[in-house]
Structures are given as C-alpha cells and as structure tokens.
Chain A
Amino acid sequence: MVPVAWRILLHDKVRLAITLAGITFSVVLVLVEVGIYLRILTNSSLLIDTSDADVWVTARDCRNFDFSLPFDATKAEAVRSCPQVARVEKLIMTWGLARLPTGGSEQVQIIGFDPWKATGPLTDLVSGDILDLKTPRGVVLDESSRRRLGPFQVGDYMEVTGRRVKVVGVSQGIHSLTTSPMLFASYATAQEIPSPVLPGQTVFVLAWLKDGADRAQALATLRRIPDVDVHTRGAFSLKTRLYWTFETGMGLGFLMVTFMGLAIGMVMVGQTLYASTMQHQREFATLKAIGAENRMIYGILVRQAASVALAGYAVGLAATHGVARLYGEATDIWVILPAPIQAAMLVLTVLMCMAASLISIRKVMVLDPMIVFKA
C-alpha cells in the first residue's frame, strides 16, 4: 500500500515540525510536572517508607510527618508493654536554625533517634559512620545540604539553634519535602537542641512487631493507648502523601498544569492536523471519487494522528530526561519518571492526538466529493 498518511505528513515539514513541537511540549510539561509531584510525595514520606518499623505512633490527629506535635514519651513504655511488640524506638522530628559561615541562618529539619544500627536512608553514608551519632552532639547531614548550608565535611562543627554540633557523617539522596536540609542526630542530641519538643516528650514512637504476631490484634491493642494515634507504616505514609496532595492544593495545582499541558498539546495537534486536512481536502475528495470508502480516509487521519503521537512522544520523552536533569541540577529536586508513568503518558499522548484528529475526521465525513470538479 502506498503510505498516503505518512507521505502527506512528511510533505509539509514545517507543519509537521510544529505538530511535533506541540506534542513534545505537552509531553515534557506533563511528565516533568508529574515527575516533580512524585518526587515531592516521595520526599514527604521518605523517612516513613525507608524505616522498617511496622507501626508509627503519633500524637492525636497527626496529619503528616512534618507537622506532628510532641507527646509524652512514656507512651513508648505503653507501646512496649503490648505483647505483640518486639522493639520500640522513639523518634524526634523538629526544626532548628543552622548558622551559616556567612553569618546568615538556614532552617534545618532535625531527626533524632537512637542509632543502634545503620538503617533506612542512612544505610550507605558517603563518609563517616552512623554509629558515630552516639558521640555527644554528633550529626549526619546529607550532601545535598551543601547547597543551603555551604561546604562541610566530617569533622566540621556548626551551630544549630545555639548548640554546637559536629558533623560525623554525610549521607546522600535524603531530601525533605520542604527542601530544608535534614540533620540526623541521636535522640539525646536532638533533645539538647532547643525546640518545641520538651524534655520527656517525643514526636513519634516506632514499634516493630514480633515475628508471627497477629497484626490486627496488635494494632487493636495499641489503639487502646490514650491520646495517641496508631498507624501502620503504609497507612502513615499514605496519610502524609494525601495531606500534601489534597490539603495544600498542591495536588490540584499539579493536576491543573497536567490538564493544561494535555489541552495545549491537543489544541496544537488538532489545529495542525485540521489545517493539513483542509489543505489536502481535494486529495481526500479525489480518494472518495475514485472509490475509497470513508473508513479508509478516516484510517489515513488516524494513522497520521498516531504517527505524530508516537514521534512526538519519543522526542518529548528524550527532552523530558534532559529537562529533568537540568531541573534536578538547578533545584536538587530530582524528577521521578517510573516506567508505568511513561507508559501512561504514551497512552495519553496517543489518545490526545486521536481526540485532536476527530475534528479533521468530522470535516472529511461531510466532505463533498463534488469539489473534485471545481477548478
């Protein structure tokens, strides 16, 4: 078969370039938006997801990881007394101000816990040893914090909310939702840094259940402890993600930008395909006149739409990786592009182009083959 669809597309290279640019723009906009959104969500629950605790105990009505009120640390003993619980750790999450070498200050998120072993995101430190957190006022900072805090290395000292701390380790790939640097310390060190968390309080209690323990029964028992909420790790992670998605308007904002990206792409593709159809309408009418069924002509338009969708998607995906890299280097927010999202975007792009071709199909449906006789 003569590939009429592609030949018409390739015939007007400027129009094709504009169409592909529209799709590419749309793909980049949507993928980068979704990728940033996923990264932010991942960061929002990073410490929950990378912990291996089965249960997170929080203050009553705690809505997410970052905004959690402290509560009486003796609740940890109540958790420990649950027969299904094997181990309990307290964890402080609070905020402090780090003094910069320049004299300014930067907000830091302080995570205090008892470092009995390398765990979660702190498994692989770039330098130093997690167990050195046990030394008085030892802290671990993420290497990405250098963007905010200036240069530092193991052995350096810095001041956090009036307390001198020593960098004993450098981690990598740990980012907070707020992009504030994260400072890991022992539970005792975190308590020493002035913050809303008073002596005798904690912010979270993490519990590990015994092997083979009845999970539902354990949760039911723990939920009898007054004035705290008990979440499984997955539920607390989801709660945190949902909070940022729905309570802050962030999700709606990303959804709107995604929708706009698709709409812009659809309008551009629709406009250029329609213009092409109008330009070639005499050829389509000729096809009808010489015996082509309508479905063959629709097939040409659908193939054109699918072709530009696939080509535009391929260019868009490549461009997205480039943009994501540049964006990550500029902001330290590294766009996440999981394969299912890429596949979904491919489907969306094809659907978008198909929808955009409908207006052309409608034009051809009502095309009068008599125009073949017009001079």
Chain B
Amino acid sequence: MEPLVQVRGLDKTYRQGRVEVRAVRGVSLEVRPGEVVLVMGPSGSGKTTLVSMIGCLLRPTAGSIRIGGQEVAGLGEAQLPAVRRRWIGFVFQTFNLFTSLTARENVEVAFNLRGVTGPEAARRSAEILAQVGLAGRAEFPSADLSGGEKQRVSIARALAGDPPLLLADEPTANLDAATGRAVVSRMTSLAREKGKAVVLVTHDPRVTEFADRVLTMEDGALVAGPAREASA
C-alpha cells in the first residue's frame, strides 16, 4: 500500500536571538493508511514541531513532505488551508473548542469549512458525535462538557469531512488516565475502521498499546528507528 505521508530529510531551524536552534533534524518517516504511529520523546525533543510541519502549519527549513502523493513543503500560504481541509484532521491537547458553541456546532464548523452547510451539516455532525459516544451531549454548550467529552468532540471535529490523516498532539495530557485511554482507544479504533492514518504525539506510555508503531524523538531526531513494531 502506498504511504499516505512521506517525510524525507525534514529539518526545522529556529532563530532565538543570535542562537540557531535545530528543533527537527533530518527526520524521515512514512505513514500508511490505517496505520497508527506514536511519536514519543521528552519535552523539547521536537515532536510538536514535527507534527506541525506534517500538518502544514509550520514550514520546514529543509526536506520534503508528501501527503497523498502531493508535495506540500513548498506550497504557498494561500494553498495550505485547502490541503489541511482535504487531508488532515487535528486533535489538540487543550481541545481548542469554540466555547460559545455547542458540541454539535463545533463539529459543524468543520463541515462548513468543507462546503457542507445547513441541515446536512447538522445531521452529519450528530452522526459523528454518536460515533464518539456523545449522541446525548450534542446540544450541550462545549464549555459545560467534561475533559473527556471535550476531547471526543475534538476527535469528532477532526473526523468531519473524512480526512485521511489524523494528527493528535498530546490528546491525553489534560485527561485522567482512564479517560485518556478511553479517548485514544476510541480515536484509534475509529481511525482503523475508516482506514485513516494517525500520527499521535504523546508523553503517555500507557497509550502505546494502541499504536502500530512507536517512534522516539530526541534532540530533534528520530532515534533507533521504530521503537516498537505493531504487536497486532
């Protein structure tokens, strides 16, 4: 199967005053459809920078990123939103929900961005919320939801529009252990069910069981190849 994501020789260098910081250095990796890849590593190891570049939110200093066969590293600012809408769903550590909207409306916004509006967007949003187990919470203000529920809304939003790639940054960091496991379990099972690739950045060793591959980053580089091959 062709890889959905192909990263080659990815570098990111920041300038902090006179000092140059190489946040990511020479990273290469591939992620196939339906595959769940965990990126682990200590704070400041470059995990989030890597996922930001794959998510087309940050431009690499050097290297290549191909998503769905399309080179995206050199695309202009104006072209990137369309790439993100077409290919990528994001799940964030702090959920980043619209506090003034209900759970359903948060998901609906993602449909709206993809040109699906009105009752159709509402119906499909409710469907996805049901898939993440929030059918009864759809009309709740997102501010009133628990942390686990908020993250499930975030996952539902990421799934809206059926993007082939999910990028999750520390999705369990603000959740208790049981809730974190439940959220990742649901996200990865839904992703596998729908044939989506998942790149999951985390500190949390308890979620490694849900991954097909675990990669470790240190000082901006992937170390020792795949840390753990898929057990299933």
Contact = CB atoms under 8 A, between A and B. Distances in A.
Interface of A: 1-2, 4, 7-8, 10-11, 282-283, 285-293, 296, 369-370, 372-375
A324 B172 CA distance: 60
Contacts of B81: 288, 291-293
Interface residues of B, number: 35
A2 B84 contact: no
30 contacts: A1-B112, A1-B117, A2-B101, A2-B105, A2-B108, A2-B109, A2-B112, A7-B100, A7-B105, A11-B99, A282-B94, A286-B90, A286-B92, A287-B109, A289-B90, A290-B85, A290-B89, A290-B90, A290-B157, A291-B81, A291-B82, A291-B85, A292-B113, A296-B113, A370-B52, A370-B57, A373-B93, A374-B94, A375-B93, A375-B173
A289 B98 contact: no
Contacts of A288: 81
Contacts of A286: 90, 92, 96, 98
A326 to B, nearest CB: 38
Contacts of A369: 57
B138 to A, nearest CB: 13
B96 A372 contact: yes
Nearest to A288: B81
B169 interface: yes
Nearest to B170: A375
A292 to B, nearest CB: 6
Interface of B: 48, 51-52, 55, 57-58, 81-82, 84-85, 88-90, 92-94, 96, 98-101, 105, 108-110, 112-114, 117, 157-158, 169-170, 173-174
Contact of B94 (A2, A293, A375): A375
B140 to A, nearest CB: 14
A370 B58 contact: yes
A10 B90 contact: no
A289 B109 contact: no
A375 B94 CA distance: 6
A150 B10 CA distance: 92
Contacts of A1: 112, 117
A298 B174 CA distance: 31
Contacts of B169: 373
Nearest to B58: A370
B93 A4 contact: no
B12 to A, nearest CB: 11
DSSP majority for the B interface?
mixed
Nearest to A10: B100
Contacts of B110: 290-291
B113 A290 contact: yes
B113 A291 contact: yes
Contacts, number: 79
B114 to A, nearest CB: 7
A288 B81 CA distance: 7
A169 to B, nearest CB: 65
A283 B84 CA distance: 16
Contacts of A7: 98, 100-101, 105
Contacts of B52: 370, 373
B92 to A, nearest CB: 6
B223 to A, nearest CB: 22
Contacts of A373: 48, 51-52, 92-93, 169
B173 A4 contact: no
Contacts of B93: 373, 375
Nearest to B160: A290
A328 to B, nearest CB: 42
Nearest to B154: A286
A346 to B, nearest CB: 27
Contacts of A4: 98, 100-101, 109
A7 B100 CA distance: 6
Contacts of B88: 291
Among A290, A293, A374: residue with most chain B CB under 10 A: A290
Nearest to A286: B96
Given A2-B109, A11-B99, A291 B55 contact: no
A210 to B, nearest CB: 71
B64 to A, nearest CB: 21
The 10 closest A-B pairs by CB, nearest first: A291-B85, A11-B100, A286-B96, A7-B100, A291-B84, A2-B105, A369-B57, A291-B81, A291-B113, A373-B48
A282 B101 contact: no
Contacts of A282: 94, 96
B117 to A, nearest CB: 5
Nearest to A291: B85
Among B82, B88, B92: residue with most chain A CB under 10 A: B92
A8 B97 CA distance: 12
A11 B101 CA distance: 9
A372 B117 CA distance: 25
A282 B55 CA distance: 17
Contacts of A374: 94
Contacts of A8: 98, 100
A16 to B, nearest CB: 11
B98 A372 contact: no
Given A11-B100, A283-B96, A289-B57, 17 more contacts: A2-B112, A4-B98, A4-B100, A4-B109, A7-B101, A10-B100, A282-B96, A290-B109, A290-B110, A290-B113, A291-B82, A291-B110, A291-B113, A370-B57, A372-B92, A375-B173, A375-B174
